Amino acid sequence: MPPSERAFPDFRPGQWPLVIAAVGLGIVNDFMLSAYRHVRSTLAPPDAPRLRRGAPGYPTIVPLGGLWERWDFLHPILRHLNAIGYPVHVVPTLHRNRESAETLARRVLDDLRANDLGDVVLIAHSKGGLVGKGVLLLAKPEDRVLGLVSLAAPFRGFQLSNLVSDVEVIDMRPSSRQTIVLARHDAADDRILNLGSTLDQVLGRSNRLASARNDDVDRVGHFGLLGRRETHTRVAYELAQALDLPERYEAPDEPLLRRLHGRLQDIARDYGFAVGWHLRSFAPDRGRLRRWERGDPALPPVVLLPGVLERWPMLRGIGDRLHRLGHAVHVVPELGFNMQDIAAQGRIVVEALERLGLRDVVIVAHSKGGLIGKSVLLDPRGAARVRGLVAVATPFSGSEYARLFTAASIREFSPSSRIIRSLGWSDTTNGRIVSIWPTFDPHIPSPSRLPGAADDREVPLSGHFRILGSALLHDEIERAVRLVGTDGAERVRPERGAWRRAEAGGAVDQPERSGGEDVAARAKRRR
C-alpha cells in the first residue's frame, strides 16, 4: 500500500483531491517548522547547561541532530525527558553533522569515553539515526550505550538524495556504501526504537528495520514530529518499558502556560478527528462489514460498541486491526448514534448477539460503549455469550463534566446518576474487563480504573477520540483481547527492561507488529 494510502486510509478514491490538499498543507507546514527551527537555532540557541542534571537511576540522553542540524533541533523532546528525570549530555564536536556517519559515530564514542557518563541512550533525528546506529555497532560493553531512539531516520536511504550532488547527501542514497553497510549489520537493531511519519516527504520510502520496534507517530512530515507532545510522551513511555524505569510520561512541573498551550492543541486535534469521522460515518461501507464477518473460527468473535453520538465507523481502525489478526468482527447498527439510555442499548446488544448466534464474544468498546458492554455482562443472557470486555476511555466512575449538560444522554454519565452507581456496585463481572484510558482525556477528568478488573492500563496518549487511531492503542487492545479472549495474553510488546538485557548480551524477542505481516517476516520474504 502506498504511503499516501496508509496515511489516509479513511479516504476513498473519489476523495483523493482532499488527500492531495491535506498532504500539501502538511508538507508546507512541516518545512515552515524546519525553517523556524533553523532560524531559532542560529539566532537564539538554547543553553545546554540549563537542562537539569537528572534523577538517580535514569540514563543520560545524548542528542544527535540530522544533517545541517545542531543538537537543539531536538530541544523540545530533550526538555520533556529532562523534566521527567533524564540527564542530557551534548556532544559539542558534532556541530551540524556534515561528515560521514562513521566519522561522527567515532567522535560520539570518544566524547562518551572521555566524560564517563554511565548508562547512555541516544535520541536522534534523520541522519542522526545513522550516526546512532553506528555508535551501537562500534560501542564496547564498557561504553554502556543502552539503545537508540531514532526519529525519521533514513536507514534505507532516501530517493531525493539522487537529485543532490553534495557528498553529505550522496552518502544517504539507497545504493551508497554507507546505507548498504548499515543495513547489512543488524546486530544492534533490537535496541532501536524507530519512529517516523507514515508519509515523509524527505525520506519518501519505508525505512523500517527488521529487528527494531517500528511505528508511525505522525501522518505527514519529517520535522514536525520533533515538537509534538504525543511524540514526547510516546518516547518516554517506550523508554520506561525498554529500560524498566518508573512509568512517568509527563513532566511533573511543566510551566502552566506551556502545559495549557499543549492541552489546547490536544483538544483541537481531538475534536478535529471526531468531526472528520462523524462526517465520514454517513457514507455506507457495507462491503467492509461483510469482510469483517469472515474470520478464524478458532478465535473469539469481536463486537464493536461505539460511544455516545458515535456510529461504528468511529472504531474502523480497531476493527481493521482485529480482522487482520483473524477475528470475525461485528457491529450493531441498531444502536444508531447511541443516544438511548445505557440499559436500553444493552438490551439491543444482547438481542443482536442472540440473533447472530454469537458465543464466546469479546466486546471492544469506546466511552459509553464500555458501560453498555458491562451492562451486557450483567445480563444473564449476555453473560452466557460474552467472554470479556475491552473498554477504552470509559467513565466507569462517571464524569464530573456531565453535570454541565442538560441532555439526558450526557447527564447519565454523572457520578451521581443511578446507572453509574448501579454499574459501580455490581463488581462481579469486573474480572472479565480490561480498562484502557489516555493520560489526558478532555471528557473524563479521572482515570478509568475499575476495581478488580482483569487489567487496568494508562497509555501515554491525549484525547478522547483521537486515541482511536493510535497504533499504540491498537497494540494494547490486541493484548487485551488476547487476555480476556483466551487463557492468557501473548506479548505484543517487548518485555520490560529489554534494552538493558540486550546491552548485557541477552536477546530481545520483538513481538509481531501490527498491520498483518510483521516487518521481520516481510524482510525475510524479500531476501
Mean pLDDT of the chain: 85
Which is higher by pLDDT, 170 or 231?
231
Residue 282 lies in a domain: yes
E-strand stretches of 152-191:
none
pLDDT higher than 90, residue 124: yes
User: Cα dihedral angle (448, 453, 455, 457), rounded to 10 degrees?
Assistant: 10
What span, in angstroms and rounded, lies between the C-alpha atoms of 436 and 486?
18
Residue 51 lies in a domain: yes
The pLDDT tens digits of the residues spanning 275-290 come to: 888 887 777 677 888 9
Report yes or no on 515 lying in a domain. no
170 and 218 share one domain: yes
Question: Which of 468, 485, 502 marks a domain boundary?
Answer: 485
- The closest of 317, 311, 318 to 332, measured between CA atoms, is 311
Are 92 and 175 members of one domain? yes
The pLDDT of residue 505: 65
Same domain, 15 and 158: yes
Q: How far apart are CA 527 and CA 524, in angstroms?
A: 5
**88 & 120 share domain:** yes
What are the pLDDT digits (tens) for 175-223?
888 989 898 898 899 999 999 988 888 887 778 898 888 888 877 889 9
Instruction: Give the model's pLDDT for residue 233.
Output: 87
Number of structural domains (the chain) is 2
Tens digits of per-residue pLDDT, 363-419?
A: 999 999 999 999 999 999 999 999 999 999 999 999 999 988 888 889 899 999 999
Percentage of the chain beyond pLDDT 70 is 86
C-alpha span between 272 and 27 (Å, rounded):
19
Q: State mean pLDDT over 106-111.
A: 95
The conformational region for residue 74 under phi > 0 = left, psi -120 to 50 = alpha, else beta, is alpha
What are 320-339's pLDDT values in tens digits? 999 999 999 999 999 988 99
Query: 47-58, pLDDT tens digit by residue?
Result: 666 677 788 899
Do 267 and 171 fall within a single domain? Answer: no
Tell me, what's the pLDDT at 7? 52
Would you say 429 and 370 are in contact if contact means Cβ atoms under 8 Å apart? Answer: no
Lowest mean pLDDT segment, chosen from 228-237, 273-282, 314-323, 350-359: 273-282
Q: Which residue is it, cell 535496541?
A: 191
Residues 154 and 207 in one domain: yes
Both 131 and 271 in a single domain? no
Amino acid at 228: R
pLDDT at residue 515 tops 50? no
Name the grid cell of 500: 538493558
- CA pair distance 424, 291, nearest whole angstrom: 37
Cα–Cα distances in Å, from 57 out to 49, 85, 404?
A: 20, 9, 44
Tell me: the pLDDT tens digits for 161-186? Answer: 766 767 678 888 888 889 898 988 98
Domain boundary among 244, 277, 308: 244
Q: Does 133 reside within a domain? A: yes
In degrees, rounded to 5, the angle at the alpha carbon of residue 450 between the alpha carbons of residues 448 and 453 is 130
The total number of residues shown for the chain amounts to 527
Q: For residues 221 and 202, what is the distance between their CA atoms, to the nearest angstrom? A: 8
pTM, two decimals, is: 0.75
Task: Name 407's Cβ contacts closer than 8 Å, sequence gap at least 6.
Answer: none
In a domain, 513, yes or no: no
Does any domain span residue 157? yes
Q: Are residues 214 and 326 in the same domain?
A: no
pLDDT given for residue 103 in this prediction: 93
Instruction: Report if residue 46 sits inside a domain.
Output: yes
> Does 214 share its domain with 324?
no
Q: Quick one: pLDDT at residue 20?
A: 74
508 found inside a domain: no
Same-domain status, 419 and 451: yes
**What is the rounded average pLDDT of the residues 141-170?**
84
Picking from 212, 244, 276, the residue at the C-terminal end of a domain is 244
Q: What are phi and psi of 42, to 5 degrees?
A: -80, -45
Q: Which CATH number goes with the domain that contains 230?
A: 3.40.50.1820
Residue 78 belongs to what domain range? 3-244
Question: Which residue did the predictor score with more confidence, 104 or 471?
Answer: 104
**Set of cell numbers at residue 395:** 467513565
| Same domain membership, residue 238 and residue 146 | yes
pLDDT of residue 135: 96
- Amino acid 190 reads D
Report DSSP state, residue 192: E
Strand order in the sheet with 60-64: 60-64, 120-125, 145-151, 192-199, 213-220
pLDDT band at 517 (very low <50, low <70, confident <90, very high): very low
Over residues 73-84, the mean pLDDT reads 91
Is there a single domain that holds both residue 192 and residue 267?
no
Question: For the chain, percent helix, then strand, then coil, each to nearest 5?
Answer: 50, 15, 40
pLDDT computed for residue 397 by the predictor: 92
Contact 146, 503 (CB under 8 A): yes
A 10 A CB-CB count for 372 gives 31
What integer is the mean pLDDT of 242-257? Answer: 80
Task: Encode pLDDT of 411-448 as tens digits.
Answer: 899 999 999 999 998 889 999 999 999 989 999 988 89
Residue 304 pairs in a beta bridge with 331, 364
Closest to 453 measured CA to CA, from 391, 372, 384, 364:
391
Summarize the confidence of residues 13-20 as an average pLDDT. 62
Buried/exposed 278-309: b ≥16 CB within 10 Å, e otherwise: bebbeeeeeebeeebeebeeebbbbbbbbbbb
Per-residue pLDDT at 318: 95
